[in-house]
Amino acid sequence: MSKYDYLIVGAGLYGSMFAYKAKKAGKRVLVIDKRSHLGGNLYCENIEGINVHKYGPHIFHTSNKEVWDFVNTIVPFNHFRYEPLASYNGKLYNLPFNMNTFHQLWGVNTPDEAKAIIDAQRKEFEGKEPRNLEEQAISLVGRDVYETLIKGYTEKQWGRRCTELPAFIIRRLPVRFCYNNNYFNDCYQGIPVGGYNKLIEGLLEGVDIHLDVDFFKEREALNQLADSVLFTGKIDEFYDYRFGKLDYRSLRFEEEILDMDNYQGNIAVNYTDTEHPYTRIIEHKYFEFGTQYKTVITKEYSLEWTEGCEPYYPVNDDKNMTLYQQYKRLAERERKVIFGGRLAEYTYYDMHQIVEKVLNEYEL
């Protein structure tokens, strides 16, 4: 008999949710992670009393009451609302695009005035099939919104000109004709009080954990420890890249501790001009309404993924999706291994989707 029912590779949200559920079902569980901390990309480091989101800002949002109630049984969530700003050539605009933004752009006060301007500008490519992202964006929201708030940011994100990017990348650009800066439309939104580590530690309470263990370096020995494996690492790596490597977009973070209590007065400022090389600055204390004497900010840069960089976003184009399907077919034949999470399923998941999936999908 194996020592464990499940070996869970990856202590991110997926692995931690699965471990929680398996433990509740009376299973013996071992969680390993190659990093030296728990939480995967949710991990927070406490710096100057501020929980710094080390792998990018994370806001939990959902309209699923079961999911919200569940995470709140693990750790209470605060009433944080994500209301980012955009900075373009020194002027600030509210996001997402709403009546505040239109007032700042054109001085209009009513929805009818804003709609009239947008409708007139959208006509620029009327009757024509958009040939690239620029034409698509202008057809959806008009030239002013595109040039002020979309163009520079998107070009930094993709490392290419909007005229060289395919139109399908932007299918919708939600526009609100009301004065509402709340980025998410979901019923529930917040940050765990005390940071995401509390959520992960709560889920993993009582579970055996080994950090700094790379599954691929000790594969044989680890496999023998458990009857089944939940794998949340990269699916192409699991199969030794036999069909080729899946592509990702990556990010680079530049963190600064500042000797002041308030740097930008808001959680996030997106830089939509080309003058600033980064896409946004996050001021972490705003996640938990911090009153510390110092502040910590992170400048975020978008990067092409190369070996050694952290893989953040799957690239869901035809080439990569076809490649992923080849790996998925192999995965479906595995009897002992379950593949789950953003890397193993080559899918962008928001956190609430992972919680919902693990709560409902597995009979353990």
Residues annotated as catalytic (active site), given as ranges: 172, 176, 249, 280, 300, 348, 350
Cα–Cα distance measured from residue 149 to residue 271, given in angstroms and rounded to the nearest whole number: 9
Cα–Cα distance measured from residue 278 to residue 362, given in angstroms and rounded to the nearest whole number: 40
Beta strands in the chain (DSSP E): 4-9, 29-32, 44-47, 50-53, 60-62, 85-88, 91-94, 188-190, 208-210, 226-231, 248-258, 268-271, 280-283, 295-304, 313-314, 337-339
Minimum CB distance to ligand FAD, residue 298 (Å): 10
Place of tokens 């400022």: 269
Q: Does 195 contact ligand FAD by CB under 6 A?
A: no
SS3 138: helix
Q: Does 12 contact ligand FAD by CB under 6 A?
A: yes
DSSP characters over 167-204 = GGG-S-----SSS---S---SEEE-BTT-HHHHHHHHT
Instruction: Identify the residue among 144, 186, 208, 214 touching ligand FAD (CB under 6 A).
Output: 214
Minimum CB distance to ligand FAD, residue 87 (Å): 19
Q: Does 250 contact ligand FAD by CB under 6 A?
A: no
Q: Does 142 contact ligand FAD by CB under 6 A?
A: no
Q: Does 158 contact ligand FAD by CB under 6 A?
A: no
Q: Does 357 contact ligand FAD by CB under 6 A?
A: no
Q: Does 152 contact ligand FAD by CB under 6 A?
A: no
Minimum CB distance to ligand FAD, residue 297 (Å): 15
SS3 344: coil
**Residue 62 CB: number of other CB atoms within 10 A?**
22
Q: Does 70 contact ligand FAD by CB under 6 A?
A: no
Letters for 320-349 (x = contact with ligand FAD by CB under 6 A, - = none) are ---------------------xxx-----x
Q: Does 34 contact ligand FAD by CB under 6 A?
A: yes
Does 84 sit behind a cis peptide bond, omega within 30 degrees of 0 on the bond before it?
no
- Interface residues toward ligand FAD, by CB under 6 A: 9-15, 32-35, 40-42, 56-60, 214-216, 232-233, 251, 312, 341-343, 349-352, 354
